[in-house]
Structure 1
Amino acid sequence: MTYVVIDSCIKCKYTDCVEVCPVDCFHEGPNFLVIDPDECIDCTLCEPECPVEAIYSEDDLPPEKFDFLELNAELSQKWPVITEQKDPPPDADDWADVPDKLQYLER
């Protein structure tokens, strides 16, 4: 099992989760974070840290979000690892409650 970042993170990119990860499995894109499923050790530390509830256990992933399993695996191979917390984008709070943000993903 792994943890998965879903579209709630897009354009928010809060990095509270990165700070608690013991294995550096987070990767950073222009406006989204992903988890490398091969690095994730299922420690559960990141999930409660996410202020927009964008991190799910693979077992708890809503069916309509299953595509994010593949998306996290794909993008984690392309994007660099992030290991330290950063400031979120200036407009992150404006995007925090916006649903269905996949169309805003920047690769």
Structure 2
Amino acid sequence: MTFVVTDNCIKCKYTDCVAVCPVDAFFEGPNFLAINPAICIDCALCVPECPADAIIQDTDLAAEHQQYLALNEELCQEWPNLNELKAPPEDADKWNGVADKLPLLER
């Protein structure tokens, strides 16, 4: 099992979750984070740290979030690993809670 970063992370990209990950399973894109399912040890430490509530257990994904499991896996192959806390984008709080952000994902 693994955890999955879903659409509310898009344009928020808070990295609080990255700081607590014991296995460096997060990868960073321009405006989104992804979890590598091959690295994630299912510890759940990242879930309560995410200010955007964007991290969900793969077995608990709603239908509208199912596509994010494959997307996380794919993006981890393209993006660099991130293992340190970074400042979020200046407008992150404005985007937190905005629905249907997948078209805004930057690769």
Q: TM-score over 0.5 for the alignment?
A: yes
Mapped to 1, the partners of 2:58 and 2:78 lie a distance apart of: 21
The residue matched to 2:34 in structure 1 has which SS? strand
SS of residue matched to 1:27: strand
2:39 aligns with: 39
Structure 2 CA distance for aligned equivalents of residues 37 and 48 of structure 1: 19
Task: Return the letter of the residue paired with 1:94.
Answer: K
Q: Structure 1 CA distance, aligned partners of 2:77 and 2:40?
A: 13
SS of equivalent residue, structure 1 residue 59: helix
Unmatched runs of 5 consecutive residues or more in structure 2: none
Give the match for residue 74 of structure 1. 74
1:56 maps to 56
User: TM-score, length-normalised on structure 1?
Assistant: 0.99
Report the Cα distance in structure 2 between the residues aligned to 1:71 and 1:97, rounded to whole angstroms.
20
C-alpha distance in 2, partners of 1:20/1:105? 24
1:59-107 CA-partner distances (Å, limit 9, x unpaired): 1111111000000000001100000000000000110021110010000
Matched, 1:21 2:24: no
| Cross-structure match for 1:65 | 65
Note if 1:87 corresponds to 2:84: no
Question: How many pairs does the alignment contain?
Answer: 107
Q: TM-score, normalised by structure 2?
A: 0.99
Runs of 4+ in 1 over 3 A off after TM superposition: none
Identity of matched residues, %: 63
Q: SS in structure 1 opposite 2:53?
A: coil
Unaligned segments of structure 1, at least 5 residues: none
Report the AA paired with residue 9 of structure 2: C
Q: Secondary structure at the match of 1:77?
A: helix
